[in-house]
């Protein structure tokens, strides 16, 4: 007892110190784009005026030039963001089908549990793609486990991706708008007899696949996986950004009075790119560019809501993306034909799926007017550090056994320090190691390019060493001139993998 008392005081003092520094705890809003690349936003080099609201955020905040997601695809990235563990450490964290069981164990410490523990109201809106249920889920009943079991008080999500069944929204533990007389059946594998597919019935399609995506037809778009029923609950792709944005705005409106954490994961600009008619044809770049405009509109609605509620000053908004860009990701949507001189990856090489920088180096902007001075930071940052970094922000323990790869970079996040990570494991189709300016991609036998998306994957029989400060585009392999650095980085990568 006598020993517990002083310890309690230490914890209390530590908490007051964190809170006192920044006055009241800030609201936290993570705006998480899907497949938006480093160069897709104007403040990172895209055509001026393409993303005015993202640019506003950057102008009023801190724009990172070396900010990363945890992986070059969606599921593993989101897993890393929420758990603080590198996904490649754990089997089953690859891109999930829409009927996958939830891969984050209920009760586990996540970014959401950390903030909830600090008194935040927590909510997730948008793309989930971390599985739901415990296997063999009946979509017509209670969905357990769900985001509600890993720290979110409220949840309004799509289960997986826009191109995967089931094409319905899930609020908390139920499919939204489901008519019990028309139950949903979801199947990955064999087709459901009597149901049309993109493969058999291309005449029913308004958007045609370029590779894969030839199974269930919903709203004139064929998807991955089969589904039947639930007709009243089916989403309309054109309305998805409106639906998610309204849910996000309403969440903020409901919780103005106390600190809240909103994880707003948009569907834009993932395939199928079917933006609302008010954006169609407006970018001159086809549906992918129009979806970028739609994303920027979602950002504007969030910023406007914060402004109108008087919350802008003390809300930390972090905008980023779950992986790098891809142009043709499986639908004939003119993205390749209408790209013009737009460079979705900016100055970087590769894209979604890749070990080259563009796989994980993505837009990364932090705005918190009360605390963060506007500017640009070159600190090496990664979303895997959110658990420890936000824990530090709100005075919670930053060391979490299950978040073993998450480190606290709060000073860099707030712009008080120019130094972020010294090293980072980048995860595409395989691993690469960043160490200061150096980037080591071990040799591998995989294909140089992903055949269908045409993305350079970063595979080559000999390893590649790049000095990113001289060569950000990873063109000049200097491995043979620096055998010592190669040996050191390879040894370190092997050690980190243990
Ligand atoms: C791929 C899909 C692609 C996309 C990706 C996941 C095919 C041919 N390609 O398998 O369209 O869905 O998975 O994207 O099916 S992610 O952003 O959710 O990781
Ligand atoms: Ca993605």
Residues 292 and 148 in one domain: yes
DSSP annotation string for 364-416: EEEE-TTT---EEE---EEGGGHHHHHHHHTT--S--TT-TT----HHHHTTS
In this prediction, residue 23 carries a pLDDT of 57
Q: Which atom of ligand 1 is nearest to the CA of 74?
A: 19
151 occurs within a structural domain: yes
What six digits make up the tokens of 445?
Answer: 């036998």
**What's the gap in Å between 38 CA and the centre of ligand 2?**
13
Residues 386 and 471 in one domain: no
Specify if 186 maps to a domain. Answer: no
Backbone Cα Rg of the chain? 22
Mean pLDDT of 70-98: 98
Residue 318: CB atoms within 10 A of its CB come to 23
pLDDT in tens, 261-310: 999 999 999 999 999 999 999 999 999 999 999 999 999 999 999 999 99
Q: List CB contacts of 328: < 8 A, sequence separation 6 or more.
A: 210, 211, 335, 336, 452, 453, 454
Mean pLDDT confidence for 145-153: 98
Beta strands at 375-377 and 381-382: parallel, antiparallel or unpaired: unpaired
Shared domain check, 363 and 243: yes
In this structure, the answer to whether residues 301 and 392 fall within a common structural domain is yes
Distance CA 200, CA 209 (A): 13
State how many domains the chain has. Answer: 3
| Top mutation candidate among 161, 335, 360 for ligand 1, by most atoms within 8 Å of CB | 161
Q: How many residues does the chain have?
A: 498
Nearest residue (by CA) to ligand 1, atom 6, is 95
In angstroms, the CA 486 to CA 121 distance is 47
**407 lies in the same domain as 488:** no
Pocket test for ligand 1, best of 221, 329, 454 (most atoms within 8 A of CB): 329
Tens digits of residue pLDDT in 186-237 = 999 999 999 999 999 999 999 999 999 999 999 999 999 999 999 999 999 9
- Residue 263: inside a domain: yes
Q: How far apart are CA 386 and CA 403, in angstroms?
A: 10
171 and 263 share one domain = yes
How many angstroms does the Cα of residue 34 sit away from the middle of ligand 2? 4
Distance 25 CA to ligand 1 centre (A): 38
Asked if residue 274 and residue 217 are part of one domain, the reply reads no
Which of the pair, 2 or 338, is modelled with greater confidence? 338
What number of other Cβ atoms are within 10 A of residue 284's Cβ?
A: 12
Q: Does residue 417 sit in helix, strand or coil?
A: coil
- Asked which of 419, 443, 469 is the last residue of a domain, the reply is 419
The predicted-structure confidence for 225-265, as pLDDT tens digits, reads as follows 999 999 999 999 999 999 999 999 999 999 999 999 999 99
Question: What integer is the mean pLDDT of 335-347?
Answer: 98
Which domain-ending residue is among 419, 445, 466? Answer: 419
Q: How far is CA 277 from CA 237, 239, 297, in A?
A: 11, 9, 13
Judge whether 470 lies within some domain: yes
Closest Cα to atom 8 of ligand 1: 212
Q: Which ligand is nearest to the CA of 95?
A: 1
Give, using CA atoms, the residue closest to atom 18 of ligand 1: 74
| pLDDT band for position 24 (cuts 50, 70, 90) | confident
Based on the fold, state whether residues 150 and 200 are members of the same structural domain. no
What domain range is 467 assigned to?
429-497
Boundary of a domain, candidates 170, 201, 225:
225
262 with 371, same domain: the answer is: yes
What spacing in Å lies between the alpha carbon of 323 and ligand 2's midpoint?
5
Mean pLDDT of the chain, nearest integer: 95
Contact criterion met (CB below 8 Å) for 241 and 266: yes
Give distance in angstroms: CA of 377 to centre of ligand 1.
Answer: 31
Site to substitute for ligand 1 among 95, 226, 324, most atoms within 8 A of C-beta? 95
C-alpha span between 321 and 149 (Å, rounded): 24
If you take atom 19 of ligand 1, which residue's CA is the nearest one? 74
Is 185 within a domain? no
Task: Name the band, by pLDDT with cuts 50, 70 and 90, for residue 9.
Answer: very low
Residue from 87, 94, 212 to probe ligand 1 pocket by mutation (most atoms less than 8 Å from CB): 212
In a domain, 391, yes or no: yes
pTM of the predicted model as reported, rounded to 2 decimal places = 0.95
Q: Which ligand is nearest to the CA of 322?
A: 2
pLDDT level of residue 3 (50, 70, 90 thresholds): very low
Same domain, 166 and 81: yes
Instruction: Give 259 Cα–ligand 1 centroid separation in angstroms.
Output: 35
pLDDT digits (tens, 9 = 90+) for 425-476: 999 999 999 999 999 999 999 999 999 999 999 999 999 999 999 999 999 9
Mean predicted confidence (pLDDT) in 377-396? 98
In a domain, 424, yes or no: no
Residue 342 lies in a domain: yes
As a whole number of angstroms, the distance between CA 350 and CA 466 comes to 14
How much is the pLDDT for 438?
Answer: 98
Question: How far is ligand 1, taken at its centre, from the CA of residue 161, in Å?
Answer: 8
Which ligand 1 atom lies nearest to the CA of residue 224? 15
pLDDT for 103: 98
Tokens of 371: 């605390």
CATH of the domain at 439: 3.30.1120.10
Ligand 1 atom with the shortest distance to the CA of 212: 8
What CATH number has the domain bearing residue 285?
3.40.720.10
- Ligand 1, CB cutoff 6 Å, lining residues: 34-35, 73-74, 95, 129, 161, 163, 211-213, 224, 270-271, 323, 329-330
Res 230: pLDDT: 98
Ligand 2 centroid–CA 289 distance in Å is 16
Mean pLDDT of 98-109: 98
* Nearest-10 crossing angle of helices 286-308, 240-254: 20
Please name every residue paired with 261 in a beta bridge, in sequence order, or none if there are none. Answer: 28, 122
Predicted pLDDT at 16: 39
The ligand 1 atom nearest the CA atom of 75: 19
Distance 450 CA to ligand 1 centre (A): 12
CA angle 298, 300, 302 (to 5 degrees): 75
Check whether residue 101 and residue 214 sit in a common domain: no
- Shared domain for 333 and 312, answered yes or no, is yes
């Amino acid at each position: 007892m006598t020993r517990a008392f002083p310890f309690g005081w230490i914890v209390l003092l530590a908490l007051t110190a964190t809170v006192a520094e920044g006055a009241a705890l800030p609201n936290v809003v993570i705006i998480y784009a899907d497949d938006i690349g480093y160069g897709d936003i104007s403040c990172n080099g895209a055509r001026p005026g393409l993303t005015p609201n993202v640019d506003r955020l950057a102008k009023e905040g801190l724009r990172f030039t070396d900010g990363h997601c945890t992986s070059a695809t969606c599921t593993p990235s989101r897993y890393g963001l929420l758990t603080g563990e590198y996904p490649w450490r754990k089997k089953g964290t690859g891109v999930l089908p829409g009927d996958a069981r939830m891969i984050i164990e209920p009760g586990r410490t996540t970014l959401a549990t950390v903030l909830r523990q600090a008194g935040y109201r927590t909510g997730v809106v948008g793309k989930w793609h971390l599985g739901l249920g415990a296997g063999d889920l009946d979509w017509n009943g209670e969905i357990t486990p769900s985001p509600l079991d890993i720290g979110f008080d409220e949840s309004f999500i799509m289960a997986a991706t826009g191109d995967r069944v089931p094409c319905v929204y899930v609020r908390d533990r139920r499919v939204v708008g489901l008519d019990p007389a028309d139950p949903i059946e979801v199947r990955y594998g064999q087709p459901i007899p009597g149901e049309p597919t993109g493969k058999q019935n291309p005449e029913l399609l308004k958007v045609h696949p370029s590779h894969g995506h030839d199974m269930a037809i919903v709203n004139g778009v064929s998807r991955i996986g089969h589904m039947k029923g639930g007709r009243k609950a089916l989403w309309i792709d054109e309305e998805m950004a409106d639906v998610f944005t309204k849910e996000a705005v309403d969440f903020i409106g409901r919780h103005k009075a106390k600190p809240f954490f909103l994880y707003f994961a948009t569907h834009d600009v993932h395939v199928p790119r079917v933006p609302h008619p008010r954006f169609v044809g407006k970018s001159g770049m086809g549906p992918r560019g129009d979806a970028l405009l739609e994303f920027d509109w979602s950002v504007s609605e969030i910023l406007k809501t914060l402004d109108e509620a008087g919350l802008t000053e003390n809300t930390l908004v972090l905008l980023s993306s779950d992986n790098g860009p891809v142009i043709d990701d499986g639908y004939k949507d003119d993205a390749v034909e209408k790209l013009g001189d737009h460079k979705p990856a900016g100055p970087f090489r590769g894209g979604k799926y890749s070990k080259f920088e563009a796989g994980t180096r993505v837009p990364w902007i932090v705005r918190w007017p009360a605390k963060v001075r506007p500017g640009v930071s070159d600190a090496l940052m990664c979303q895997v550090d959110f658990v420890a970094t936000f824990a530090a922000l709100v005075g919670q323990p930053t060391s979490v056994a299950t978040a073993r790869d998450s480190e606290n970079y709060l000073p860099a996040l707030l712009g008080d320090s120019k130094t972020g990570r010294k090293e980072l494991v980048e995860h595409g189709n395989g691993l690469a190691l960043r160490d200061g300016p150096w980037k080591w991609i071990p040799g591998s036998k995989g294909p140089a390019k992903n055949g269908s998306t045409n993305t350079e994957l970063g595979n080559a029989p000999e390893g590649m060493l790049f000095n990113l400060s001289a060569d950000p585009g990873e063109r000049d392999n200097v491995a043979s001139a620096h055998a010592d650095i190669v040996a050191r980085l390879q040894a370190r990568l092997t050690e980190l993998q243990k």
